[in-house]
């Protein structure tokens, strides 16, 4: 005699949904606690952008993915590399070194795409030469602000080894008009 393929009663199905909801709530709480701990401990992600050592707030960063195929977009700024499919999402790729006025980034085995946090509301990723790992601001000495630099990249720090770091504020960067207008204007 054949057994029914789906043998659960409505009560068991309801319990399963309840356990799933409970698991999702616990997972969300853990993720929020981890973000809160990152902010409370002052941990930043260190990356190499061109020749600059930069720090990024972990709450503003999304994923770090290997460099992948980028489809160029005509009539855009030279620092706007184009679009890539990052985990099923069409994402704009910016060569931050070139945007900052340095030479364009050279592709390499350590190059990575660093996506913006979804909370910033901009499907964008930065091409960085290398990811340097987590750094603690508490272990660094603030060097003040560079008044000549844009507000999103004006904070300067020096670590215990004497290495200078530039702290980037991606939330401010996504509000900068120059960053948002990747298209070439007529006559340029």
Answer for the pair 146, 154: CB distance below 8 angstroms, yes or no.
Answer: yes
Q: Look at residue 40 in the predicted model and tell me its pLDDT.
A: 44
> 58-70 pLDDT, tens per residue?
999 999 999 999 9
Task: Round to whole Å and give the CA distance between 83 and 86.
Answer: 9
- Where b means 16+ CB within 10 Å and e means fewer, 82-107 reads bbbebeeeebbbbbbbbbbeeeebee
* Tokens encoding 59: 């709450």
pTM, two decimal places = 0.74
> 125-141 pLDDT, tens per residue?
999 999 999 999 999 99
């Amino acid at each position: 005699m054949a057994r029914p393929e789906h043998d659960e009663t409505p009560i068991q199905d309801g319990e399963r949904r309840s356990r799933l909801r409970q698991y999702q709530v616990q997972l969300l709480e853990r993720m929020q606690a981890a973000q809160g701990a990152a902010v409370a401990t002052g941990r930043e992600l260190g990356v190499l952008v061109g020749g600059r050592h930069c720090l990024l707030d972990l709450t503003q960063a999304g994923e770090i993915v290997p460099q992948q195929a980028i489809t160029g977009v005509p009539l855009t700024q030279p620092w706007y590399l184009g679009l890539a499919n990052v985990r099923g999402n069409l994402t704009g790729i910016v060569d931050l070194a070139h945007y900052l006025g340095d030479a364009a980034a050279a592709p390499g085995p350590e190059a990575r795409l660093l996506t913006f946090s979804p909370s910033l509301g901009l499907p964008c990723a930065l091409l960085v030469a290398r990811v340097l790992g987590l750094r603690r601001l508490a272990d660094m000495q603030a060097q003040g602000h560079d008044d000549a630099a844009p507000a999103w990249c004006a904070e300067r720090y020096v670590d215990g080894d004497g290495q200078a770091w530039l702290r980037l504020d991606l939330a401010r960067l996504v509000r900068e008009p120059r960053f948002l207008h990747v298209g070439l204007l007529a006559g340029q």
